[in-house]
Structure 1
Amino acid sequence: MEDEATTLAHAIGARVRHERTTRGWTLDQLSAAAGVSRRMLVNVEQGEANPSVGTLLRLAESLGLGLPALVEPPRTQTTRITRNGDGAVLWRGASGGSGVLVSVTQHPDVIELWEWRLEPGERHASEAHRDGTRELLHVHEGRLTVEVEGATLDLNTGDSLAFHGDLPHAYATTGSSPTRFSLAVYEPRVGEPRRTEHHRA
Structure 2
Amino acid sequence: MNASVNILNDSISRQTIVAIARRVAAFRKRQGLSLDQLAARAGVSKGSLAGLEKATGNPSISLLCQTAAALGVSVSDLLATSTPRKAEAFELGGGKVLWRGQAGGTARLLYGTRGPLMFELWEWVILPTERYEAKAHSPGTREILYAMKGNLGAVVDGEVFEIGPGQGLSMETDVPHAYYCAGKQPARFRMIVVEMPTNGGLRKNGPAGAKKSR
| TM-score between both structures, scaled by the size of structure 2 | 0.80
Match of 2:205 in 1: none
Structure 2 residues not aligned, in runs of 5+: 1-7, 202-214
Match of 2:204 in 1: none
Look up the SS of the partner of 1:91 in the other structure.
strand
Match of 2:178 in 1: 170
Match of 1:144 in 2: 152
Pair 1:35-2:64 in alignment: no
1:84 Cα offset (Å): 5.0
The residue type paired with residue 123 of structure 2 is E
**Separation in 2 of the partners of 1:48 and 1:3?**
14
**Separation in 1 of the partners of 2:31 and 2:199?**
16
Are the aligned partners of 1:138 and 1:161 in contact in 2 as well (CA < 8 Å)?
A: yes
Partner deviation per Cα, 1:100-119 (whole Å, 9 max, x = no partner): 11112233432111100101
Look up the SS of the partner of 1:79 in the other structure.
coil
Look up the SS of the partner of 2:55 in the other structure.
coil
Structure 2 CA distance for partners of 1:74 and 1:138, relative to 1, 3 Å: closer
**Separation in 2 of the partners of 1:57 and 1:108?**
11
Match of 1:105 in 2: 113
Look up the SS of the partner of 2:140 in the other structure.
coil
Match of 2:23 in 1: 15
Pair 1:188-2:159 in alignment: no
Match of 1:90 in 2: 98
Match of 1:198 in 2: none
Structure 1 residues not aligned, in runs of 5+: 196-201
Q: How does 1:61-100 map to 2 (within 5 A)?
A: 61-72=69-80, 75-83=83-91, 85-100=93-108
Aligned-residue identity in percent: 36
Look up the SS of the partner of 2:78 in the other structure.
helix
* Matched residues, number: 193
- Which among 26, 33, 45 is matched to residue 25 of structure 1? 33
Are the aligned partners of 2:84 and 2:114 in contact in 1 as well (CA < 8 Å)?
A: no
Look up the SS of the partner of 2:11 in the other structure.
helix
Are the aligned partners of 2:35 and 2:46 in contact in 1 as well (CA < 8 Å)?
A: yes
Give the RMSD, CA atoms, in angstroms.
2.3
Structure 2 CA distance for partners of 1:8 and 1:85, relative to 1, 3 Å: farther
The residue type paired with residue 96 of structure 2 is A
Structure 2 CA distance for partners of 1:75 and 1:91, relative to 1, 3 Å: same
- Which among 56, 61, 72 is matched to residue 53 of structure 1? 61
